[in-house]
Structure 1
Amino acid sequence: MNHEGVNDMSRTLIRFPKGIPGFEGYFQYHLMEEENSLLTQLLSAEDVHARFIIVRPQIFFPDYLSTVDLGQEEAELLEVTPDDKLEVWAILTLCQQDMQKTTINLRAPIVINRRTGKGAQFILSKDSLLSRQPLFSELETDCNEGTMEGVVG
């Protein structure tokens, strides 16, 4: 699948064995990373309309990684070995009228094992983690018009 405007980025193919919740029919995604950028794109190799903006949540929430604990089932899905360094990402919901109202999904991180080329989105059981956590501050986030639920298209 051809994605225009992404030639200046490094591209890594990641397989999501169970898909991404809400997008279970798509299993292959390109992780598009631009040097010196906080934001990364996750683009479906199977449908140009399944596109996500993701970020490493620990950049904005330094203690976040301590809340992500993979269970046995998740570790097996990603084929984790003791030497693997897993990457944790989170999907952003962009507010087109006011970028200050952008939110991050801390409740369901995307975890990637680059060694195996596998990824998965897991829903964490911690009630304190929000699926629409304000990214920049504790701003009011009633952004309904122009909201893109992590999907850019």
Structure 2
Amino acid sequence: MIIQTSIWGDIEVQEQEIFHFPKGLPGFENEHQFALIPWEETPFIYLQSLQEPELSFLLVNPFLFAPDYSFELPEADREELEIQEQVQVYAMVTIQKQVSQSTMNLLAPVVLNPEIKTGKQVVLHQSGYKTRCLIWPEEQLESAKGGV
């Protein structure tokens, strides 16, 4: 399927890369179809609307940058997404002018069921996570500088 994007123009996406978000995303409730588009040679991936070429979100696997990140997916969300075993979890990313200050949203992960291709952004109300967690914590940046 060929889709229009503002970043890459017209691109081809495979059916297995398309996910249905029955309730849309917070603030974008009318957007229901999204494609996952990898950002080659990076840990990032785009969640691109199939309806609106201008609408895409940068995602990252939060476990790559926050290995201790964990949460219990509420039963209502498990049922809504019909999750049996397989699940994919991503965090939305906000890129800052100073890239080292870029953040990921651990409070509201994007949860996908890869078996039936459904998705939802889940707000973890009872967690201590924040919407703006540094992707590269200061101590990680300092140790990287020390090795130069």
The verdict on a shared fold, with TM-score over 0.5 as the criterion, is yes
**1:85-124 equivalences in 2 (<5 Å):** 85-95=86-96, 97-124=97-124
How far did residue 32 of structure 1 move?
A: 0.7
Distance 1:138 1:104 in 2: 14
Larger Rg: 2
- Number of aligned positions between the proteins: 134
Instruction: Specify which structure has the higher proportion of helix.
Output: 2
How many Å separate the matches in 2 of 1:136 and 1:25? 33
The secondary structure found in structure 1 opposite 2:76 is helix
Structure number with higher relative contact order (C-alpha < 8 Å, ≥ 6 residues apart):
1
Cα distance change, pair 71–61 in 1 and its aligned pair in 2 (3 A)? same
1:43 alignment partner in structure 2: 48
Q: For residues 5 and 24 of structure 1, what CA distance do their matches in structure 2 show?
A: 24
Identity of aligned residues (%): 30
How big is the shift at 1:138?
4.0
In structure 1, the gaps of 5 or more residues are 140-153
CA deviations on 1:19-72 (whole Å, 9 max, x unpaired) are 1111111000011124542000000011112210000000000011x2x21122
- 1:69 partnered with 2:87: no
Larger deviation, residues 71-80 vs 54-63: 71-80
The two structures, once aligned, show a CA RMSD in angstroms of: 2.1
- The match for 1:25 is 30
> In 1, Cα distance between the equivalents of 2:47 and 2:112?
12
Normalised by the length of structure 1, the TM-score is 0.79
| 1:19 partner SS | coil
TM-score, length of structure 2 as denominator length = 0.81
